[in-house]
Every structure is written in C-alpha cells, then in structure tokens.
C-alpha cells in the first residue's frame, strides 16, 4: 500500500509500452527511478495498452508477468494497486465531456484524465471496485502530458468563442494530487491556465492527498492562475477515514493541506462525503466541522455533503478485500438502476445535523437555505448530495 502518511504508492511492477519508451524515454526514467524496488517490464512491441486491437493480449501479458489471479476479482483489484503501466493515450480520450445519466443533476464539465485506472488509495466504498479495475488490473498513467494540454486548450478556445465557461475536472476518475510528487502533471498544468485561451475556464482538483507543493509554488510564481484553479478536499470524520479510507492521508493531514493552499491564496472547497452513520457519528461530524472552522481556520467557498452509498456490485468485492469491515452492515435501500443508499429519513437527519453545525460556525450560512448541486450559488455555498 503506502506509507503511514499515504504520500506515495508502492509499486511491485512497472510496465512500459513501446510508445512511451520511444517518445518519452526521459519521463519514463524519471518516474521509474522513484520506485527502485519495482520490477520494470517492457510491454512487447506487438501491442500497446491503448491499442484496442491488442488490449486483450497486453492485459494477458501483464496478468501473467505480475501473477494476477484470473478468476479472483477482489484479488485482482487489490493487486492492481501495486502495478503501474506507463503508456501514451490517444488525444481523443484525454479530455472528454462528462455525460450525465438520467436524473443526475450536475454542472457541465470536461474530464481531464492522465490516469485511466488512477488511484492507489483503497476506500472500501469506492464504486470503481465494481468497474474495469478487475478487468484491467493496473494503474495506467498516460505520460503524453503535452497532448492533454493541447486538448484542454482547444476545448477552452472553442467554448470561449461560443461565450461559454469551460469547467475542467481533474478529479473525476482519479485523485488529482495523489500522484503529483511522481508525475508533476498539475505543476506543469497550472501555469498554462494563465493564458488568454483559459480566460473563461476553471480547473477543478478533487483530492484526499497532502501533496500540495505544486499548488503552493504555482501561487507564488503564477498568482494570476489562482482564480482559475479550485482545489477541493474530500474529507471525513477521523474515525470514518481511519476505518474505511485505507492508504489515504488522515483527516488532519488533509485539513492541514487545505489550510496551506488557502493561505497561498486559493479559494478552497470541501466535500464531506460519504458520511457514515456509525454509533456516535453526530459528535464526530460536529467535531469535524468545529475543526474546519476553528482549529484550521478554513473558509471554504463551497461545502458539498454526501451520505453513504455504493454500487450494488461493491459489497461482495469489498468484503473479500476488507475481511473485518462493517461498512456494509448499515441498512441501505436500492434506489435507481444499481445504487444503494441510506433511507431517506436517515440521509435527511445527517444532512440537517451537519448543516446546523456549519451554520453555527459560518455566519454566511446562518440564514441561507441548502441548495442542490444544479443551482447557481454564491460564496460559502452548501451543497448536498443524494
């Protein structure tokens, strides 16, 4: 997994595609030398992970070389956390518009993705356990950063001509900062956000990480970029983070990182999600809010709230990965096509409790109603999930 601070992954195997080695050899060496204990494999020249015609053959090569179980989904998901693939991804997939599903209310944004399977944290509730993580059991990093920058620039320029605001999200399929001390991607991206093409653009970063050196440095060297970058921390009560968010930095580390970034001049946001209704949750989440405003002096522009929920496929996989978990013992009901949630009354009680705690510490919230995620709201906004 990671160190106690959750600062960097530990890889047993690193696979390098021919295109990555040929086009970005120096970058490959920079990354692989950070993991000297990892065994480095060269993917055969007859295919690449991002080539659809050879993806099955390449996956088989990785599975065999890394000893990944074929018929054990939970084992494959766990093993994938320690396998890194360096490849060159097609520019068409690096920046793409997020398409909402039926009934989902969400602001329009564009997914920015260098990490395809991009998280080495092991949160028990993570929906990605039930998706392609077991089919393609590795963390894949697209190292053609310049193609990402060019795709973002083209998208921003096109929308600007149409008088549209462009929202880029670098945290939809990956943690925005967890790999930053390995890749340096965000540190390279932020200065590019200062250009005229990005005048009507914002970059959303969503993270549990404490890797904020790039953000702090960028604020000093490119202060004009601060208004275009929105760092957001996913946080939880210390008990929930310790029990269910394995290998990630603890609550205190995340809040300290958010404070550093706020002090550097950024307008930060927080996401308290998923709130878990274990015995004593009322005191824990109230204390969390007290720490946010009191001990750490944070003034988040937006706080988003969410309660425990997960895809129906997750419990069976997670119970095998986390033998002693109690996360799936809470009574949930199925809502929608394939998602289970807390009962409405329980969700409402949790939202009201935390909102009341926030209003007790934030004067701007005392007379402001909670609004849904699809509404346009001002400073210190509260949002709630479903």
Q: Which residues contact 261 (CB under 8 A, 6 or more apart)?
A: 212, 215, 216, 219, 231, 268
Looking at residue 371, its pLDDT comes to 56
**Domain assignment present for 6:** no
**Domain assignment present for 83:** yes
Looking at residue 46, its pLDDT comes to 65
**Domain assignment present for 7:** no
Read off the pLDDT of residues 205-240 as tens digits, 9 standing for 90 and up: 999 999 999 999 999 999 998 999 999 999 999 999
Q: Which residue has the tokens 């959303």?
A: 204
Q: Reply yes or no on whether the pLDDT at 7 is more than 80.
A: no
Instruction: Report the chain's C-alpha Rg in angstroms.
Output: 21
Residues of the chain with pLDDT > 70, as a percent, come to 85
Cα–Cα distance measured from residue 59 to residue 66, given in angstroms and rounded to the nearest whole number: 11
**Domain assignment present for 318:** yes
**Domain assignment present for 103:** yes
> Domain of 218?
13-384
Read off the pLDDT of residues 166-209 as tens digits, 9 standing for 90 and up: 999 998 878 999 999 999 999 999 999 988 999 999 999 999 99
Please tell me the total count of domains within the chain.
1
DSSP assignment of 278-327 equals: -TTHHHHHHHHHHIIIIIS----SEEEEEE-EEETTHHHHHHHHSTT--G
Q: Which residues contact 335 (CB under 8 A, 6 or more apart)?
A: 341
Assign 90 a pLDDT band (cuts: 50, 70, 90).
Answer: confident
The answer to whether 255 and 291 are in contact (CB under 8 A) is yes
**Domain assignment present for 250:** yes
**Domain assignment present for 112:** yes
Looking at residue 91, its pLDDT comes to 79
Q: Reply yes or no on whether the pLDDT at 105 is more than 80.
A: no
Q: Backbone phi, then psi, for 4, in 5-degree steps?
A: -65, -25
Read off the pLDDT of residues 62-86 as tens digits, 9 standing for 90 and up: 888 998 877 888 998 999 999 999 9
Q: Which residue has the tokens 């199925």?
A: 334
Q: Which residues contact 96 (CB under 8 A, 6 or more apart)?
A: 110, 111, 113
Read off the pLDDT of residues 269-323 as tens digits, 9 standing for 90 and up: 999 999 999 999 999 999 999 999 999 999 999 999 999 999 988 999 999 999 9
**Domain assignment present for 199:** yes
**For the domain that residue 65 is a member of, what is the CATH number?**
3.80.30.30
Looking at residue 134, its pLDDT comes to 60
Cα–Cα distance measured from residue 355 to residue 357, given in angstroms and rounded to the nearest whole number: 5
Grouping H, G, I as helix, E, B as strand and the rest as coil, residue 102 is coil
Cα–Cα distance measured from residue 95 to residue 113, given in angstroms and rounded to the nearest whole number: 6
């Amino acid at each position: 997994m990671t160190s106690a601070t959750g600062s960097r992954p530990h890889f047993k195997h690193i696979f390098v595609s021919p295109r990555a080695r040929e086009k970005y050899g120096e970058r490959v060496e920079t990354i692989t030398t950070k993991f000297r204990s990892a065994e480095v494999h060269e993917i055969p020249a007859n295919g690449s992970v991002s080539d659809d015609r050879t993806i099955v053959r390449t996956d088989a090569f990785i599975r065999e070389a890394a000893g990944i179980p074929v018929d054990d989904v939970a084992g494959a998901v766990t093993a994938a956390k320690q396998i890194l693939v360096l490849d060159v991804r097609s520019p068409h997939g690096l920046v793409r518009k997020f398409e909402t599903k039926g009934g989902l209310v969400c602001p329009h944004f564009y997914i920015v993705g260098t990490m395809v399977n991009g998280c080495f944290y092991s949160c028990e509730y993570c929906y990605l356990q039930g998706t392609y993580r077991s089919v393609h059991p590795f963390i894949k990093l697209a190292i053609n950063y310049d193609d990402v920058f060019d795709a973002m620039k083209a998208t921003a320029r096109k929308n600007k001509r149409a008088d549209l605001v462009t929202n880029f999200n670098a945290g939809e399929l990956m943690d925005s900062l967890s790999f930053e001390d390995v890749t340096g991607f965000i540190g390279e991206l932020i200065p590019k956000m200062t250009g005229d093409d990005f005048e009507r653009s914002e970059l959303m970063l969503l993270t549990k990480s404490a890797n904020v050196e790039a953000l702090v440095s960028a604020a000093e060297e490119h202060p004009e970029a601060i208004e275009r970058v929105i760092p957001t921390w996913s946080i939880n009560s210390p008990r929930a983070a310790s029990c269910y968010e394995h290998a990630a930095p603890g609550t205190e580390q995340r809040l300290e990182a958010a404070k550093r970034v706020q002090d550097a001049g950024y307008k930060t946001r927080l996401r308290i999600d998923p709130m878990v209704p274990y015995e004593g949750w009322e005191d824990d989440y109230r204390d969390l809010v007290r720490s946010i405003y009191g001990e750490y002096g944070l003034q988040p522009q937006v706080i988003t709230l969410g309660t425990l929920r997960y895809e129906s496929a997750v419990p069976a996989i997670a119970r095998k990965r986390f033998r002693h978990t109690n996360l799936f013992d809470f009574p949930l009901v199925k809502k929608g096509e394939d998602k289970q949630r807390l009962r409405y009354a329980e969700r409402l009680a949790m939202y009201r409790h935390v909102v009341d705690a926030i209003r007790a510490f934030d004067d701007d919230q005392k007379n402001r109603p909670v609004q849904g995620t699809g509404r346009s709201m001002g400073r210190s906004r509260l949002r709630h999930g479903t």
